[in-house]
Amino acid sequence: MRRKFKNQAIINEFKADDKALGDAVETLYERVIDYGAHPNKKSLSSVLKKIDLEDSIRFELSYSTNNPLVIRLGLKTATQVGIACLKIAEKVLPERFTIVGLADKIKQLSRVF
């Protein structure tokens, strides 16, 4: 069970079925890991502030930010993850997507990114 449902095993299954979608899922997975799903240098450096004091150094960590670059990347990534999820769902239920016209709408949205 663990082997079958490891992240890379699932990504490889996506790639075998649809290389472009598999590559996109892998890129998004790596991005969310790098920028916050797990604490690491990239996720902390975007919200960590170092303050040099006379006799010490203080670090402040902001849980929310007004940094437009961080906000933009978060919104873009969330949108891309949503589109990837819809594309995966389309693989499972293609007839439903065709009936309601979602397949065409997803293609239009995907061009933006």
Do residues 28 and 81 make contact, with C-beta atoms less than 8 angstroms apart?
Answer: yes
**Residue 9, token pair as written in the block:** 């095993």
Q: Rounded distance, CA 52 to CA 98, Å?
A: 59
pLDDT in tens, 9-46: 889 999 999 999 999 999 999 998 887 766 667 767 77
Tell me how far apart the alpha carbons of residues 26 and 93 are, in angstroms, rounded to a whole number.
22
- Which ranges in the chain belong to alpha helices (H)? 7-17, 19-32, 41-45, 68-92, 94-100, 102-112
pLDDT of 113 > 60? The answer is no
* DSSP for residue 38: S
- Confidence check: pLDDT of 94 > 70: yes
CB 53 within 8 A of CB 46: no
Residue spans of the domains in the chain: they are 7-112
pLDDT digits (tens, 9 = 90+) for 37-91: 666 677 677 778 889 999 999 988 777 778 888 889 889 999 999 999 999 999 9
